[in-house]
A and B are shown apart, each in its own frame.
Chain A
Amino acid sequence: MNTTTQDSATPNTASFAQASSEIVATNISKSYGAGPFAKQVVNDCSFTIESNKLTVMIGPSGCGKSTLIQLIAGFESPDSGTITMNGEPITGPGKDRLVLFQESALFPWMTTYDNIMYGPRARGEDNAEAAQLAEFLLTKVGLEAFRDKYPQQLSGGMQRRAELARAMINKPEVMILDEPFRGLDNMSKELMWEYYAGLYEEDRNTNFFVTTDIDEAIFLADRLLIMTNLPTSTRAVIEIDIPRPRRIDDIGNNARANEIKKEVMTLLHEEAMKSFSGGSKAAADFLDAYSKRAG
């Protein structure tokens, strides 16, 4: 970290690169409810979030991915199995693993700047160094003109960038993103993909990104985890060996990307079919989308 020694007027380089950190889930299971109403959401699921890689988890919607995030973040514990970070079991939430939720979790009563400063202030680190880092991040996410605005005054994409900045100021070892760009219009979504990929490529920290969008998954991922339907477990792992930096325009014409996309769709289609026979609404939605894309 170099922010204390550099020229305070122009903090144009701040490193967010973290030492290696790896999360390993081994045979975890999780159910909700009890007795005859119990519903198993995760079943004997194992996977690794490799250090300094962008791991994307994709699966049919409603397959239990958000539950896995609750477990990894430490808000809940698995019924059986273990989750470790750098070999240590995860026992609760911590600033080493920060989550960006589906819906914006920016605090509506705080301005952009106060939101970004929440973490340092909560830990009693409201000092010049933190303030400088906040300024740097405001510029980095392009919100310096919106520092005194409340979240409702920001567009969907700006809110997501503000939230990225609020997480990054804490220098998490692992960043966990739960369908963060869901609900954005297509144009902002693709801009956010490039933006987020650019941020990742700068520091190459460990990132865990959950999505239901195949194009998003392939564009972003170093490693792709494909999940089964409910109760979820790992169906397949694909290494996405498309070179970085990646650009939206290139990826559409990239033969390897299309090859992977076909493979992923076939796997997800199988999973969707399984739950379709079980009458799942999510599966019907997926099949609908699949037929459009394949056709």
Chain B
Amino acid sequence: MSISKFTDKLFSRATLRGIFAIGIFMVFWEVGARSEEWFGYRFPFIGLVPPPTDVFVSWSGLIADPSYWQSWYMSFLRVFGGFLAAMVVGIPLGLFMAINKSFYGMAFPSFEVLRPIPPLAWVPASIIFWPTQELSIAFVTFLGAFYTIVINVLGGAKSINKQFLQAAQSMGASQWDMFRRIVLPATLPSIVVGSAVGMGITWEVVVAAEMISGGGSSGGGAGGGLGFFIWSSYVGGSYEQIIVGMISIGIAGYISSELLRQLGGLLTPWLKTR
């Protein structure tokens, strides 16, 4: 993307609309949260939430705090660690299940029994069988993305147009060439979609896992990640920080999805032409 294209996009109508909507939301939030102070009547629900200005004050205090950024770093590390592991294991597994009938027959039933188990149900078991808490959180994160990626890759590779394979075969392609230049690119869009969905689940899972397991081996807030950050803010009674943590996760998730979308777009240039 060139600079001018980037600035065009930055100041486009769509971006302005987005900023406008967030602004309106902030105003309502502020008014609602300060309703008791300003009107002497507390609005239900929203009246109990700290107002955005207080949240920003609290946030600005945290910006210079390395332990806050350490939380970001830890969560990102776990999300990407688990996610990459899920890709490395999940994509070949899905592809192999799609092209090998006997392996499919063996692997698919057990896969389908394990799949409905929510990743968070694995937390206690993984704390027991992984040597460190860090590994058990990473494992649970891995599971979050793993099933979605495998199911998408399998579905994508199985629904390849038969005529693509027949055409390639009659033009003299070897099995390996057909895999590399037909099956793999034909499955790429499904891999990208599966990864995007898997990434979302990974963020959900990592935060919950951090809360449950108490934030990893280094124990305290510094090593705990954003999930633990929220939990310890709650325990410590700092409600503004809870909101800071929540918004941080929102932003972190958005950054991850955007990275993935850009990467996915680069890998599947032919889809943009539709």
Residues of chain A whose beta carbon lies under 8 Å from any beta carbon of chain B = 73-75, 93-95, 97-99, 101, 103, 105, 107-110, 118-119, 122-123, 149-153, 166, 170
Contact = CB atoms under 8 A, between A and B. Distances in A.
A101 to B, nearest CB: 5
A108 B173 CA distance: 17
B185 A109 contact: yes
B5 interface: no
Contacts, number: 71
A150 B270 contact: yes
A110 B268 CA distance: 10
**From DSSP, what is the main secondary structure of chain B's interface residues?**
helix
A101 B167 contact: yes
B170 interface: yes
B182 interface: yes
Nearest to A119: B171
B170 A99 contact: yes
Given A98-B171, A119-B171, A153 B166 contact: no
Contacts of A149: 273
B168 interface: yes
B166 A108 contact: no
Contacts of B274: 152
Contact of A95 (B166, B171, B182, B185): B171
B161 interface: yes
Contacts of B182: 107
B174 interface: yes
Contact of B172 (A74, A107, A123): A123
A74 B171 CA distance: 12
A152 B273 contact: yes
Interface in B213-251: none
Contact of B270 (A95, A99, A101, A109): A109
A143 to B, nearest CB: 16
Contacts of A152: 270, 273-274
Given A109-B185, A109-B186, A150-B273, A73 B172 contact: no
B166 A107 contact: no
Nearest to B182: A107
A179 to B, nearest CB: 13
20 contacts: A73-B170, A93-B166, A93-B169, A95-B172, A98-B170, A99-B166, A99-B167, A99-B170, A103-B161, A105-B161, A105-B167, A107-B182, A122-B172, A122-B174, A122-B177, A122-B181, A150-B273, A152-B274, A153-B273, A170-B171
